Structure formats: structure tokens, C-alpha cells
Amino acid sequence: MIVFGVAEVGFIAIYAGSDAPTSGSVALGIILLIISQCFAGTQFIVEEKLLSGYYLDPFRVVGTEGMWGLCYYLFLLPIF
């Protein structure tokens, strides 16, 4: 549903948009957004498949995921 909504909004933005040179940027942004949604969906499916055989405390899983996200941003955000 998210991919369909993004595709619909992107089509309208490109079709009804002006003839400015930014229309290519809009198309690229929509394509990158759809790719990121597919990547995130695949990540959720793989994570569920790998961890389905274990019982993990939800708070520990969320905390660990947040800790790793924070570490990634602490190192990568200054570089970017």
C-alpha cells in the first residue's frame, strides 16, 4: 500500500508538475523512496525469519536496535 501511494503521488507530481528542470529530481526521489521501502520490507521479513525460533524480550530487542542505530549515526552522520 505504501509503494502504491508513493507511486501515485509521484506520478501526479511528475505529470502535473511544471516544466522546470527539477522534474528529474522528483522522479529520482520517488524511485529512491520505492527502493528504500522494498529494502525495509525485505529487512523485516528476514529479521522475522531469522528470529522466529527464539524468544527474545521485546524491550531488549528494541533497545539493542536503537543502540546500534545510535552508533551508526554517531559515526556516519559527521562523515555525511
Q: What is the pLDDT along the chain (80 residues), one digit of tens a residue?
A: 777 887 787 777 777 766 666 556 777 877 888 888 889 999 989 988 988 888 888 899 899 999 999 999 999 999 98
How far apart are the C-alpha atoms of 25 and 31, rounded to whole Å?
10
Give the side-chain half-sphere CA count within 13 A for 34: 16
Q: Can you give the residue range of the structural domain that contains 31? A: 2-79
Q: Which residues contact 14 (CB under 8 A, 6 or more apart)?
A: 23, 26, 27, 30
Angstrom distance (rounded) from CA 69 to CA 77: 11
The model's pTM: 0.56
Domain count, the chain: 1
